[in-house]
Amino acid sequence: HLKHILGFEGISKNANGNLSIQDGYLRFQKSENSSAQIPISSIQDLILGEQDKQVGGIPMMLVKTAAPYEGGRVISLFSHKKYDTVTLEYVDPNGSLHGAIFQLNKGTGQVLRSELEAAGAPITRVENGTAKGSTKETRNEAK
């Protein structure tokens, strides 16, 4: 179970649903009638990331504001939740490059990455802050 931030055609932004790997396809299913899928072979790259999000909304903000002696700072330390983010780059049947971003519970991004790697998706390895495995190079020169 995860959140589709954006990218899959026909699926609304910030939609909750399930992601599965079936018969060579990566499928996001929002509900019984709403789903999107891409062939795993069309995935060009997969990048894992982490995100830290403050939880609690307006009630938590009011509690932090009302806490005496800078107690709001202490509350802020405990009102954050960490998530994994998975960014996919894939090519559609017409050859156009697309991207999709998903938000997963902490620790489940690596599981998805391993499952996609086992299914044949190319993976960018990050070691010591540098990406390994990608042969793409982009240059941005100002003239």
For residue range 109-135, list pLDDT tens digits in order. Answer: 888 888 988 888 876 555 434 444 443
Structure tokens at 90: 């894939």
Q: How far apart are CA 92 and CA 109, in angstroms?
A: 23
The predicted-structure confidence for 22-80, as pLDDT tens digits, reads as follows: 888 999 988 777 888 899 999 988 888 887 766 666 666 666 566 676 666 555 655 66
pLDDT at res. 121: 82
DSSP class of residue 11 equals S
Q: How far apart are CA 42 and CA 25, in angstroms?
A: 9
- Model confidence band, residue 102 (pLDDT cutoffs 50, 70, 90): very high
Q: How far apart are CA 44 and CA 34, in angstroms?
A: 25
Residue pointed to by tokens 């993976």: 123
Dihedral pair phi/psi, residue 33, rounded to 5°: -100, -15
Structure tokens at 71: 């107690």
C-beta of residue 21 within 8 angstroms of C-beta of residue 40? yes
pLDDT at res. 62: 61
Q: How far apart are CA 121 and CA 113, in angstroms?
A: 9
**Which residue would you say has higher pLDDT here, 128 or 8?**
8
Q: How far apart are CA 103 and CA 1, in angstroms?
A: 9
pLDDT at res. 133: 43
pTM for this prediction? 0.68
pLDDT at res. 72: 62
